[in-house]
């Protein structure tokens, strides 16, 4: 994760692109402005075309893999203005970077809070037991190799790729 900071604050700010840039270790200028009603589709289209990834948000802070998945986004109500949503970078479910700055307000964790996960896209020819989220764990296998941490390739998708052990949900 590379700390990237917002260039615009407040309503219409760019905290979300700054968080994506941080997790993917890119410059903020490399991230499009995903504004408007179709932002979710735009984010996933851009991630798929440029990084073979997708983005999903979950609301459950007790999601079994959240505490183990690595870097992700946490989106919620801004303490500066309860009418504005804010995004920060999390690691294992805990905020580690606020793109508003070192003294940034973070977020208020409430019913509006979501956890944004980056998922690696596996091509159609990938075996049926692959293509799900993998959490770090000793002795698990990926492509026949035992590993403590799955790193498919150097890049942004290294934090949540691989094969989940059978029976885990």
Domain presence at residue 10: no
Does 167 map to a domain? no
What's the pLDDT tens digit per position in 55-113?
A: 989 888 777 677 777 899 999 999 989 899 999 999 988 899 999 998 888 999 888 89
Q: 24 and 70 in contact (C-beta within 8 Å)?
A: no
Q: What percent of the chain lies above the pLDDT cut of 90?
A: 41
Question: Within a domain: residue 168?
Answer: no
- Which of 2-16, 97-111, 122-136 is predicted least confidently? 122-136
Q: Is the pTM of this model over 0.75?
A: no
The residues, ordered by sequence, that sit 6+ positions from 14 with a Cβ below 8 Å of its Cβ are 6, 7, 8, 28, 33
In a domain, 2, yes or no: no
**What domain count does the chain have?**
1
User: Under 8 Å CB-to-CB from 151, ≥6 apart: which residues?
Assistant: 158
| Residue 91 placed within a domain | yes
Residue 125 lies in a domain: no
Tell me which residue range forms the domain holding 58.
Answer: 15-120
What pLDDT score does 124 carry? 58
Answer whether residue 96 is part of any domain.
Answer: yes
| Residue 39 domain-assigned (yes or no) | yes
């Amino acid at each position: 994760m590379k700390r990237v900071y917002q260039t615009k604050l407040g309503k219409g700010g760019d905290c979300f692109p700054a968080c994506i840039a941080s997790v993917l270790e890119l410059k903020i200028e490399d991230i499009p402005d995903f504004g408007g009603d179709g932002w979710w589709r735009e984010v996933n289209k851009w991630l798929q075309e440029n990084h073979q990834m997708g983005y999903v948000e979950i609301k459950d802070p007790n999601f079994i893999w959240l505490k183990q998945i690595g870097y992700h986004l946490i989106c919620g109500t801004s303490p500066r203005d309860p009418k504005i949503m804010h995004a920060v970078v999390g690691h294992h479910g805990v905020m580690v970077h606020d793109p508003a700055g070192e003294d940034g307000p973070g977020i208020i964790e409430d019913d509006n809070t979501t956890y944004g996960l980056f998922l690696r896209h596996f091509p159609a020819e990938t075996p049926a037991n692959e293509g799900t989220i993998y959490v770090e764990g000793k002795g698990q296998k990926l492509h026949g190799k035992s590993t403590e941490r799955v790193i498919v390739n150097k890049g942004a998708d290294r934090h949540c790729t691989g094969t989940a052990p059978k029976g885990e949900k």
